[in-house]
Amino acid sequence: MPLSDEDVREILRIIDESDLTELRLETEDFSLHVVKGERRLDPPVPAPTPTPRPRQPPADDKPTAPEPGTADGLATITAPMLGTFYRAEAPGKPPFVDVGGRVEPDTIVCIIEVMKMMNSVTAGVSGTITAVVPENAELVEYGAPLFRVEPA
């Protein structure tokens, strides 16, 4: 029996959501070999630079921060979801982390808000923060660079 469109998408979805990087499946009728793209290395790798847009962004939006050089051995903490970037738990509170601060993989570095849902983001890497990329309360895209970290 051939696989349907849904089957193929379902398989891809399952693999995408799992920790597997490679899957080999063989039955009498077919064999399937899937290798997942190396997207989540440890430490995190810099997100791919978005393609420059040919036209100017709408006037009252800040343009996305330019990507600083990444050939310097720095790791990048990227946004695990789209949302509003907050550096502190609440207005007036000190930021979770600042430049020069030390982080461990489970250190909370910021909050990303999606429709009133506050999502804590952890560093995922050990090291020292060398840069905070977005402005506080700015919309960040999925995969956008948030912090540069000098791994240690």
Restricted to residues 108-137, the positions that interact with another protein (CB under 8 A) are: 113-115, 117
To another protein, the closest distance from the beta carbon of 23 in angstroms equals 14
Report the C-alpha gap between 42 and 11 in whole angstroms: 25
Q: Rule CB under 8 A: is residue 8 a binding residue for another protein?
A: yes
To another protein, the closest distance from the beta carbon of 152 in angstroms equals 29
Restricted to residues 72-111, the positions that interact with another protein (CB under 8 A) are: 81-84
Listed ranges 20-28, 55-63, 102-110, 123-131: which one lies at the site for another protein (CB under 8 A): 55-63
Burial 11-20 (b: 16+ CB within 10 A, else e): eeeebeeeee
Report the C-alpha gap between 58 and 79 in whole angstroms: 23
